[in-house]
Structure 1
Amino acid sequence: MPEQDPSHSAAHQSVPPATDRLTAVLTLQKRAHQADMYPALQTRRDRLDRLDRMLAEHGERFSRAIDADFGGRSGIVSSLTEIVTSRAAIRHAKRHLKAWMKPRKASVSWTSRPSRAFILTQPLGAVGIIGPWNYPLLLLLGPLAGALAAGNRAMLKPSELTPAFAEVLKAAVAATFSEGEVAVITGDVSVAQAFAALPFDHLVFTGSTAVGRKVAEAAARNLTPVTLELGGKSPAIVDRSANLELAAERIAWGKLINSGQTCVAPDYALVQRDVLADFLQLFKAEVARQYRTFEGNPDYTSIINDRHFDRLNGLLEDARAIGGEVEVLGDAPSREQRIFPPAIIANAKPGMAVMQEEIFGPILPVIAYDTADDAIALVNAGDRPLSLYWFGTDKAVEERILKHTLAGGVTINGTILHLAQDGLPFGGVGASGNGHYHGEYGFRALSKEKPVFRQSRLSAMPLLYPPYGRLARLIIRLLNRLA
């Protein structure tokens, strides 16, 4: 049963208008935090246990709702990318929580000995989490696991583009937690805007860079710290030393899972010129192996709505108009079913719209390069990506790529899977975001690491108390020499 906060029943006596409702829930959560500012280990584990049980009990309902929102998404895709991954994050937090909560010893200067210092990790209070539509469960419950592990209360705002999922989540959370612990807020864009403007103790947003700027601006009015998980153009670099079959297989999987509607999907491919033709043939063969058909194939995900479908069509039309070699790997896109088959743009050019914005769909622009420095220059000419993928066995080139590009995260000889490692921080850099979460990094991001200095009864500091005389000046000269 969910924990019952003292003011829990009063919060349900009336349902005020949307903005008042948001404020009321946040006030409830802040009061609940004030009543228990440092939840015990067992309390935090209990909340994580309930979250895990909620996923186990409602997993199929979540998958069906997401399928309905997309108009077609495999339950296997939802289970693999959202439910299994979320439960793994919860269990990782439970295993390590005791160690994370322990105060950490800190060094003190020799002049302060025998005093001691330590760092106490405390909950911030009430955390807001705004999720996107592409992975509506994972990108709400992943940050939530970190928030609950850190001892916080949380308000969740699902995307208005996944209304069926939002209602199922709202009911499941209400049956699992009190509103003073976790609450789900549903509604349109205006509700999301009001949500972002609330004076949370921390705000986590996952979505586009453009919306991320607006969220950061709204949060700044309250001096609310933000974690922004955005996107951008994540490159896959294929070196001549790569196993091309492996590269084609893993880039195809990473690009086409969820039909490319993934923030860490390889956005475009940079392929060394002398292996380009072989790579393209292998990539097309791999797409045909993984997806024999597209329309009517339950393994292939629909595009979320008509607007995004039309946007993807516009990217192909723009590429054709500029002289791109566009090859659609299947039947023509079906707007009625929102099925958009994979497409390759073999000679993508910087001026194409497809190279100016995050694609978020099953289109792969491919650019030939000659040297590693050429690839590095192409990557560094744009905003810093959320992810970077390098395929090859040449360690010298690998080291150069790693050290001379800046990205949120990297997978070598693969795609996407750095995201699934709870021992690694996940987050962007620059236009692809700021801040990290996952595992201990999420625990710390949603905590205040409070420095504590315990001064010893034995202390030389009184020698430096006023009135100052010859001894004080002598000690200062000594300290300057030894500093």
Structure 2
Amino acid sequence: MTFSDEALERLRQAAAPWGAVPMAARLRLVRRFRCLLRRRWRMLPALFPQRPAVETLTAELLPLLAACRFLERNAGKVLRQRKVGMWGRPLWLPGVTSRVERRPFGVVLILAPGNYPLMLPGIQLLQALVAGNVVALKPAPGGEASARLLVDLLAQAGFPPSVCVVLPTESGAEAVAAGFNLIVLTGSVQTGRQVLQDAARTLTPTIMELSGVDPVFVLPGADLAHVARRLVYGARLNNGATCIAPHRVFIRREDEAALLTVLRAMLSEKPLLSCDSAGRTRLAALVERIKAAGGCAETVGDVVIFTQVEGLHDLLDTDIFMPWLALTGVSDIEDALVLEAGMSYALGASIFGPVSEAARLAQRLRSGSICINDLIVPTADPRLPFGGAGSSGYGVTRGPEGLLALTRPVAISTRQPQNSSLWWNMKLSAM
């Protein structure tokens, strides 16, 4: 057997005993994990030398700690069995009582991303374990140290070593084909298509958290200085490698020049980023395509700003995880919505402007996460589900909905013996 086959067999043997552990006991282990992780905060920045230390703590550590606290407080209620009472029960089912249980899938494969290799798989891993699953974690290249840290902390917290194994980074295709009970992928559209194709051979259900090329809608009345500050923050976060970073900015033509001026001033004061070379190559190719099609591109503080891209929106429908913004001048919001409807991605979106008007616009967007007068908020709040539509995937992780997604519902109905004859009499009289 291959390594992934052996790991899968060991996990299958561990699934039933772990699934039988009471919820309260699982959550005590999560609490210990959280305490151990919090004590390690000083060493975490060393895992990510290309990032400012404060960014690692705010983008990796704090969201993971918050997710632990969310599970400790809410997992028992979210996964509690639901009793179906007599009210609303069909008349031809006298004496029948029912309940709906949430049961673990069993053995879950987590295909982790490379951009946030501690926080993203850490939350998914803990939710899967709390739901009663056992896990195989396949880190992305460069994420091995984060994966080892997660597993080491689990063991120190008291989780049985058999409930989580780390697979080699190159074992993804082999693991997908092995026949897990559920696959959770955070990755690119290209990877998602390949995983779906391979998982279909074993009818393995999947959760796909894929890329985004998020739009930003700037309404009349928006504070352009505030918009620019948030765009600069979002475009530069994690060296541009954030799936819900802002990229396509829709703004009235008469306001475009003013926003561009503020962006240039803010970006020129920022230090240079540490973007990876492969991403720089992809972004450079996009710059050439935009210029060849008649658009303009300039680099300010390591952020590429595209302008004059009206009619070139199809070129922007690409998931390049780099710091870039495309300012599109529109006549009104309806013009912007027409352009947005032609895009394949629908992960996140942001709207800046009067709250009531922004709320009405939010009802018309198909993105899985929508922020009003801010951006990237969903990654910071463990109560919120996270997922997209279209080329951004399907299913959710995180929040109550993400926890439920790691279980399957089982309905159990019981008829009291003394009511059996009454049921048959009612059935015969209806024939």
Equivalent in 298, 304, 320 of residue 343 of structure 1: 304
**Aligned equivalents of 2:212 and 2:135: distance in 1?**
27
Are 1:183 and 2:165 counterparts? yes
Task: Kindly state the Cα deviation for residue 62 of structure 1 after the two structures are TM-superposed.
Answer: 3.9
TM-aligned CA distance change 1:458 to 1:213, over 3 Å: same
**Aligned equivalents of 2:405 and 2:122: distance in 1?**
15
3-state SS, counterpart of residue 404 of structure 1: coil
Task: Give the counterpart letter for 1:360 in structure 2.
Answer: F
Who is 1:463 aligned against? 425
Are 1:155 and 2:136 counterparts? yes
Task: Kindly state the Cα deviation for residue 26 of structure 1 after the two structures are TM-superposed.
Answer: 1.7
Matches within 5 A, 1:84-163: 84-106=62-84, 108-163=89-144
Who is 2:201 aligned against? 221
3-state SS, counterpart of residue 52 of structure 1: helix
Are 1:271 and 2:251 counterparts? yes
TM-aligned CA distance change 1:127 to 1:98, over 3 Å: same
Who is 1:479 aligned against? none
**Aligned equivalents of 1:413 and 1:372: distance in 2?**
16
Equivalent in 263, 278, 281 of residue 310 of structure 1: 281
Who is 2:326 aligned against? 365
Report which stretch shifted further, 119-128 or 158-167.
158-167
3-state SS, counterpart of residue 156 of structure 1: strand
Contact 1:388–1:411 (CA under 8 A) maintained in structure 2: yes
Equivalent in 334, 337, 341 of residue 376 of structure 1: 337
Contact 1:271–1:369 (CA under 8 A) maintained in structure 2: yes
Who is 1:407 aligned against? 367
**Aligned equivalents of 1:422 and 1:168: distance in 2?**
21
Instruction: String of CA shifts for 1:163-219, please: whole Å, max 9, x gaps.
Output: 45455556555655443111111232xx11112222212111000011111111222
TM-aligned CA distance change 1:83 to 1:354, over 3 Å: farther
Contact 1:38–1:123 (CA under 8 A) maintained in structure 2: no
Who is 1:33 aligned against? 15
Runs of at least 4 residues off by over 6 Å: none
**Aligned equivalents of 1:100 and 1:167: distance in 2?**
29
Larger radius of gyration: 1
Task: Give the counterpart letter for 2:333 in structure 1.
Answer: A
**Aligned equivalents of 1:167 and 1:62: distance in 2?**
13
TM-aligned CA distance change 1:43 to 1:199, over 3 Å: farther
**Aligned equivalents of 2:26 and 2:155: distance in 1?**
18
Who is 1:5 aligned against? none
Equivalent in 305, 314, 317 of residue 356 of structure 1: 317
**Aligned equivalents of 2:358 and 2:34: distance in 1?**
42
Equivalent in 409, 414, 417 of residue 377 of structure 2: 417
Contact 2:182–2:206 (CA under 8 A) maintained in structure 1: yes
TM-aligned CA distance change 1:130 to 1:60, over 3 Å: farther
Contact 2:220–2:353 (CA under 8 A) maintained in structure 1: yes
3-state SS, counterpart of residue 262 of structure 2: helix
Who is 1:452 aligned against? 412
**Aligned equivalents of 1:384 and 1:284: distance in 2?**
27
Who is 2:59 aligned against? 81
Task: Kindly state the Cα deviation for residue 41 of structure 1 after the two structures are TM-superposed.
Answer: 1.8
Who is 2:350 aligned against? 389
TM-aligned CA distance change 1:425 to 1:170, over 3 Å: closer
**Aligned equivalents of 2:268 and 2:357: distance in 1?**
34
**Aligned equivalents of 2:370 and 2:313: distance in 1?**
26
Who is 1:334 aligned against? none
Contact 2:355–2:372 (CA under 8 A) maintained in structure 1: no
What 5-or-longer segments of structure 1 have no aligned partner?
A: 1-18, 295-299, 331-340, 474-483
TM-aligned CA distance change 1:429 to 1:194, over 3 Å: same
Who is 1:207 aligned against? 187
How many residue pairs match? The answer is 425
TM-aligned CA distance change 1:447 to 1:434, over 3 Å: same
Equivalent in 376, 386, 389 of residue 429 of structure 1: 389
Contact 2:105–2:408 (CA under 8 A) maintained in structure 1: yes
TM-aligned CA distance change 1:173 to 1:353, over 3 Å: farther
3-state SS, counterpart of residue 111 of structure 1: coil
Contact 1:47–1:148 (CA under 8 A) maintained in structure 2: no
**Aligned equivalents of 2:357 and 2:254: distance in 1?**
19
Are 1:44 and 2:26 counterparts? yes
TM-aligned CA distance change 1:101 to 1:163, over 3 Å: closer
**Aligned equivalents of 1:388 and 1:114: distance in 2?**
50
**Aligned equivalents of 1:172 and 1:47: distance in 2?**
10
Task: Kindly state the Cα deviation for residue 39 of structure 1 after the two structures are TM-superposed.
Answer: 2.1
TM-score, normalised to structure 2's length? 0.92
Task: Kindly state the Cα deviation for residue 287 of structure 1 after the two structures are TM-superposed.
Answer: 2.5
**Aligned equivalents of 1:109 and 1:141: distance in 2?**
44
Please identify which structure carries the higher strand content.
2
Contact 1:384–1:430 (CA under 8 A) maintained in structure 2: yes
Give me the CA root mean square deviation. 2.2
What 5-or-longer segments of structure 2 have no aligned partner?
A: none
TM-score, normalised to structure 1's length? 0.82
Who is 2:294 aligned against? 323
Task: Kindly state the Cα deviation for residue 226 of structure 1 after the two structures are TM-superposed.
Answer: 0.7
Task: Kindly state the Cα deviation for residue 51 of structure 1 after the two structures are TM-superposed.
Answer: 3.0
Contact 1:201–1:225 (CA under 8 A) maintained in structure 2: yes
Are 1:65 and 2:47 counterparts? yes
Task: Kindly state the Cα deviation for residue 316 of structure 1 after the two structures are TM-superposed.
Answer: 1.9
